[in-house]
Amino acid sequence: MVRAARGIKLLTLASWPAGLEVHFLADYARGTATLPQITYPKQDFSQVRSELDAIAAAADPHHPLGQYVAESARSWALAAALCDVLGTPAVTDLSVQLYGKPDEPLPGDGPSTREAARHFISIADELDHELMSPAEHVAISATALRLQLQGDLDDYFNSRVIEVELDPGLIAKAAAGSTRIRLRQGAAFSDYDRHQLLQHEAFVHSLTALNGQLQPVLPSLALASPRSTATQEGLATFAEQITGSIDIGRMKRLSLRIEAVAMALDGADFIEVFRYFLAAGQRPEDSFASAQRVFRGVPTNGGCAFTKDTVYLRGLVGVHTFFRWALRQQKLQLCRWLFAGKMTLADVQRFEPLFESGVLLPARWTPPWIQRANGLAGMLAFSLFANRIRLDSIASGEGFLAS
């Protein structure tokens, strides 16, 4: 499966060529902007898809490893099918199968992902930005951030294990592999971004890849398969939250992308989505990059979208709920095992006897916050209790005045 999936680099193949941003923004400033037209290289993964289908069919559906292999192989086959139709409307349906869509309910049959996004956007818009400290407004260059993150990581490992690099062609502001973290050259960052990237990219995406490589039985746990995306991004965003590294601005950016995906599915074209991000307060460069994420691999004239950005909030709610459940069931060990490779929440529960028997190895590298089990348990215990308090019953403030 690893060999078959190795060439399915979905995000790379769906990326736009470098240089489009400069021309589009110049044309937009002159009032002559047109919809970007992207030509994607033709792919033919039909043989790979057949091999993955055969792997899924051969896997034992009654064994935890067989279930993992079958579901992963099917996920890779879907990703391969998507790569074969890049640039066409067919990408949208395959993207939805892989990542979901904005109107799907959150875990626990809660509100939809889009409703949650609108909630965070409205809160962010209502906050008085003057309450933010001046340091939060100071922009940090990608070059300066690279040096800062490199120092943080070298201190953590006591050696150079992960290299931080600048990448002018990166769509996202940052991306992480097992031994390399890339920052988009020319992007502006904040002090919050430094801590977010350390917790999100390095201490989740990179560490789970490094730990997955150390699995003697299941080294495929080093691969970021599409089916594990929601858990990976949810765990990474949860890491930001539990370390106090996430701010309301970050929540707003994640939420704006979900709303933008919904807009594109409803018919908005690239320029309309770009203007939506501009109106929300993003810089033109960031607005282009955000709109570009929504239209990766799909036509830019509206009605289509690449829906990966819907997984962040859904994954965050899912992981947060899972951690609280694990505390209640006295299974916090499952939370630490999540860092032993890239897996789903269902995988780590199925793998429990394999970890206990030594078939799968625990994580060698873990972030500091998961190592402090008492602190984690304290936060989750408070969260469990606080959820029982109804805010609407004290909305008038009388509940506080009475005490």
The pLDDT mean for the chain works out to 89
341 is a domain residue: yes
State the pLDDT at residue 359. 96
Judged against a pLDDT cut of 50, whether residue 103 lies above it is answered with yes
313 is a domain residue: yes
320 is a domain residue: yes
State the pLDDT at residue 388. 62
Q: Identify the band that residue 188 occupies on the pLDDT scale cut at 50, 70 and 90.
A: confident
Name the pTM for this structure. 0.88
Q: Identify the band that residue 401 occupies on the pLDDT scale cut at 50, 70 and 90.
A: very low
Q: How many domains does the chain have?
A: 1
State the pLDDT at residue 37. 94
400 is a domain residue: no
Mean pLDDT of 23-38: 96
268 is a domain residue: yes
Mean pLDDT of 176-204: 89
Q: Domain limits at 380?
A: 103-385
Query: Which H, E and C letters describe the chain, residue by residue?
Result: CHHHHCCCCHHHHCCCCCCHHHHHHHHHHHCCCCCCCCCCCCCCCHHHHHHHHHHHHHCCCCCHHHHHHHHHHHHHHHHHHHHHCCCCCHHHHHHHHHHCCCCCECCCCCCEHHHHHHHHHHHHHHCCHHHCCHHHHCCEEHHHHHHHHHHHHHHHHCCCCCEEEEECCCCCCEEECCCEEEEECCCEECHHHHHHHHHHHHHHHHHHHHHHHCCCCCHHHHCCCHHHHHHHHHHHHHHHHHCCCCCHHHHHHHHHHHHHHHHHHCCCCHHHHHHHHHHCCCCHHHHHHHHHHHCCCCCCCCCCCCCHHHHHHHHHHHHHHHHHHHHHCCCHHHHHHHHHCCCCHHHHHHCHHHHHHCCCCCCCCCCHHHHCHHHHHHHHHHHHHHCCCCHHHHCCCHHHHHC
73 is a domain residue: no
76 is a domain residue: no
132 is a domain residue: yes
